[in-house]
Amino acid sequence: MPLRLTLAACAALAAYAGAAHAQTQQPSDALAAECGRDCLEALVDDYLEALAANDPSRLTVTGDVRFTEQGVELPLGHGLWKTASGIGTYRHIFADPQMGQVGAYMSVRENGQPAMLELRMKREPGGAVSEIETLVIRNAGQVTRMEEGGFPLPLWTEPVPESERLTREQLVRAANSYFSALENQDGRGIYAFSDDCNRLENSNYTSNAQGTSFEGSLDDAPTYAELNIGALGCREQFETGYFAIDTELHGRRFPVVDIERGAVFAWVFFDHDGKSKEITLADGSKRPTGNALWTWQMGESFKIERGLITHIEAWMVEAQYHQSGGWDNFDRDHYGIVDAGGIGK
Amino acid sequence: MTALLKAAAGALCAAALAPAAVAAPSECDRDCLVETAQDFLDAVAAHDASLLDWNAYARWTLNGIELPFSEAVWALENGVSDSYQYIVPDAETGEVGIVTTWTFDGTPALMAARLKVEWGRPSEAELIVNTQARDAETDYAALANPLLGASTAIPEASRLSRDDLAGFADSYFDGLEAQAFGPVATSCARIVNGAPMESCGLFEPEHTDTVSPRRFAAVDPSRGLVFAIVRYNDDGVREGGAPNSTLAATVLRITNSEITRIETVAEGVHYMAPTGWDGD
C-alpha cells in the first residue's frame, strides 16, 4: 500500500476509534448481559407509553438526561412530549446491547395525526436513560404507507449467521462508505451494494422503482426524470454520478450497531451548497441540477450482509443549511468520536 | 399606556439593551453605520465578503446557523433591490438593522440583517432570509414602499428614549404571549414577509405561545424605530399542531406613544432552534 494511503487509513482509524480519548466508551459484554435486545426493546415500549401519556416521569432517566428533538436540546417533556396523542403500529428497532444503545423508527400520533418518530436512547447500567435523541417526521401519508405496507421487511430482523457476522468497525465502515460515496459523487467510486439492494426513504422506494414518483426536491431536479434514476438499482444509481448534488454529508454518527442483525442506525445531514448548477455525470455528459441551498436532516439505517449493503431505510426532514445535530460535541466528549467523514474516503 | 407601565417596560428592557460589560468601542457613528450597511449590501450583491473590512474575529449566521464566509450568500448569485429597503442605525450600540428585498441564488427573497460594528469594522452579521420559494403567496420582487416610514424623522420634542422605545416593543411581545392586545394604535398596520396582515392585534405568527429570546438590536429614537430579533415559539398544544418556531426580525415604529407600524421578516426553524447569538 502506498505510504500516502497508509497514512490516510491510519488517520481515519484514529478518528473513528478516538483511541487517545480517555473517556471513550468501549463495548461491554457486562452491559449486554445486564440488558440485551429484549430489554432494550422493552425500553422502547416504556418510552412510547410514557410519550403517549405525555408523562416523562414514567420513564426512568438519569439526573442529567439529555433530550433533543430535530437536533435541538429541549427539557425532557417538551416538543412531541406535549403533543403526542397515541402510539402507531409501525416499529423498526435496532439494538446495540454492548453499548447500551437502542435506535428505532416508530409511528405515533401527534394531536391525532400520524407521525414518524426516530428515536435513539442510551441506557446506563442500572436502567436509567441518559440520552434521548429524536427526529419527528410529520407526514401522515408517508406514515400510513408504512403502517399498511407490511414494513419493516423481514430481512431487517433476521439474524446474520454467526460465522458471517461483521465486527462493529466493519459495519460502521460499510455504512460510512455509503455517505462517502454520495458526497460530491463522480460515479467512479467503490459502491459495495448487493445486486438486489433497495432503498426506502420516507416510505418511498427510491431505487428499482420504475414508475414510482419521488417526493421532495429530487422531483424538482430537471434531469431526474430524464435519467430515470429511481428505476435504477443502488449501484447503478451511484455509477451515474448523479448524487454529486449532495455536496457534503456532515455530522455523520453511528451510535447503534446491531451486530447480530448486521445493521447500523446512523444520523447524518445531506448538505446542498447550491454552488453547482450543473453536474458532470460519469459518462462525461453535463446536466443542469435544481441544486439550491438546503439540507436534509436524517436517520439512515443499513443492512449489511456478506460485506455488501443490501437494504437502506431513511427518514428525513428539511433543515436549515448546515444545521448541527446537537450531539457532535457531546459525542466527542463522551465517546471520543469525531465526525467520521474521513473513514472510507 | 400609562407612564408607570411604560417605565416598568423600559426597566424590563434595560438588560436587553445594555451593552456588554467589555464591549469593544463601535467607532462608527450614524452615518458610518448607514455606510457600512450599504457596503454590506454591495458585498452581498457581489457575493464577496472580502469587500468588507471585517474584524479578525468576525462571524456570521444564516437563519441561525454559523457558516464560513465562503458559503451560501457569499458563494451564490445575488442581486439587491432597493425598491423595498430601510436601515435602522443605532450609534449607541454600534449595531445596524437592514431590511431589503433581493434575489438570493436567483430566487426573489426578503432579507433582514443585523450588523455589529466594532473598532470601525463589522464583526457580526446575522441574516434572516425568507425566499419566495418558501413563501409562494408573496411576490417579493414586486414589493415596494415599506410601511414603516423609516426615513421620516420624529420632531425632537416628541422623541422617546431608547429604553422607552424598547419597552413598547417588549410590551408588544408580551401581548402576543398573553394573547392580549399590546400598545398598538387602532390605525396600526402590519406586514409579515411582505404580506399585509389584517391588523396589529392579531398574533404573529398565529399560535405563538412564547416570544423568546428577544433582542432589541438597533433602536433609533430619531425615527421611532426598534429593530428586534426574536424567536416566536409554538409548543403545538394550544392549537393542536406540531411544535414549531419562527426566527424573525421584527421592526416596530412607535409614534405618539403607540405602535403604528410593524414589519417582520420571518423564517420557520425547528422548535426552539438556537438563534446562534443568544448563548444557545
* ipTM tops the 0.90 cut: no
Neighbour-count burial of A82, counting CB atoms closer than 10 A to its CB (0-12 exposed, 13-18 middle, 19+ buried): middle
Residue B202 lies in a domain: yes
CATH number of the CATH domain containing B56: 3.10.450.50
Instruction: Tell me: do B41 and B127 sit in the same domain.
Output: yes
Q: With an 8 Å Cβ cutoff, are B273 and A293 in contact?
A: no
Q: How many CB atoms lie within 10 A of CB A37?
A: 18
Residue B23 lies in a domain: no
Instruction: Tell me: do B55 and B96 sit in the same domain.
Output: yes
Q: Does residue A187 sit in helix, strand or coil?
A: coil
Instruction: Judge whether B109 and B79 are in contact, CB under 8 Å.
Output: no
Q: How many domains does chain B have?
A: 2
Cα–Cα distances (Å) from A50 to A42, A73, A113, A197, B54, in that order, read: 12, 19, 18, 36, 51
Instruction: Tell me: do B118 and B220 sit in the same domain.
Output: no
Residue B210 lies in a domain: yes
Question: Would the CA dihedral through B23, B25, B31, B33 be positive or negative?
Answer: negative
What range defines the domain where residue B135 resides? 30-142
Instruction: Tell me: do B137 and B157 sit in the same domain.
Output: no
Instruction: Tell me: do B137 and B156 sit in the same domain.
Output: no
Q: With an 8 Å Cβ cutoff, are B65 and A83 in contact?
A: no
* Residues composing chain B: 280
Instruction: Tell me: do B44 and B155 sit in the same domain.
Output: no
In the structure grid, which three cell numbers stand for residue A313, read together?
431505510
Neighbour-count burial of B11, counting CB atoms closer than 10 A to its CB (0-12 exposed, 13-18 middle, 19+ buried): exposed
Position A301 scores a pLDDT of 98
Residue B246 lies in a domain: yes
Instruction: Tell me: do B157 and B135 sit in the same domain.
Output: no
CA distance A139 to A216: 12
Instruction: Tell me: do B197 and B105 sit in the same domain.
Output: no
CA angle A150, A166, A99 (to 5 degrees): 80
* Dihedral pair phi/psi, residue B185, rounded to 5°: -75, 150
Q: Which residue has the cell 464566509?
A: B69
Residue B279 lies in a domain: no
Chain A residue with Cα closest to B107? A292
Any CB–CB contact under 8 A between A109 and chain B? no
Residue B276 lies in a domain: no
CA distance B247 to B230: 6
Query: pLDDT band for position A210 (50/70/90)?
Result: low
Domain boundary among B100, B117, B142: B142
Residue B146, CA atoms < 13 Å, CB-side half-sphere: 27
CA distance A81 to A84: 6
Contact list in A for residue B107 (CB cut-off 8 A) is: 292
* CB environment B241-276: b (16+ within 10 A), e (fewer): bbbbbbbbbbbbbbbeebbbbbbbbbbbbbbbbbbb
In the structure grid, which three cell numbers stand for residue A292, read together?
439550491
Domains detected in chain A: 35-152 (3.10.450.50), 159-324 (3.10.450.50)
More confident residue, A182 or B22: A182
Q: Which pLDDT tens digit goes with each residue over A77-103? A: 999 999 999 999 999 999 999 999 999
Instruction: Tell me: do B175 and B191 sit in the same domain.
Output: yes
Cα–Cα distances (Å) from A82 to A63, A75, A109, B30, B243, in that order, read: 20, 11, 12, 47, 9
Q: What is the mean pLDDT of residues A137-164?
A: 95
Query: pLDDT band for position B18 (50/70/90)?
Result: very low
CA distance A84 to A80: 5
Query: pLDDT band for position B140 (50/70/90)?
Result: confident
Contact list in B for residue A111 (CB cut-off 8 A) is: 236, 240-242
Position A334 scores a pLDDT of 62
Q: In chain A, positions 237-276, which contact chain B (CB-CB < 8 Å)?
A: 273-275
In the structure grid, which three cell numbers stand for residue B8, read together?
416598568
More confident residue, A36 or A289: A36
Q: With an 8 Å Cβ cutoff, are B75 and A273 in contact?
A: yes
Contact list in B for residue A248 (CB cut-off 8 A) is: none
Q: Which amino acid is at A110?
A: E
Residue B34 lies in a domain: yes
Q: Is beta strand A72-73 parallel, antiparallel or unpaired with respect to A61-69?
A: antiparallel
More confident residue, B147 or A20: B147
Using the predicted structure, report yes or no on whether residue B2 has a pLDDT greater than 60.
no
Query: pLDDT band for position A345 (50/70/90)?
Result: very low
* Dihedral pair phi/psi, residue B277, rounded to 5°: -135, 0
Residue B24 lies in a domain: no
Instruction: Tell me: do B252 and B229 sit in the same domain.
Output: yes
Provide the phi-psi class of A33: left if phi over 0, else alpha when psi is between -120 and 50, else beta. Answer: alpha
Q: What is the mean pLDDT of residues A189-196?
A: 93
Chain A residue with Cα closest to B129? A320
Q: What is the mean pLDDT of residues A212-237?
A: 63
Instruction: Tell me: do B255 and B201 sit in the same domain.
Output: yes
Cα–Cα distances (Å) from B61 to B72, B132, B256, in that order, read: 10, 20, 35
Q: With an 8 Å Cβ cutoff, are A83 and B243 in contact?
A: yes
Q: With an 8 Å Cβ cutoff, are A292 and B62 in contact?
A: no
Q: Which amino acid is at B223?
A: R
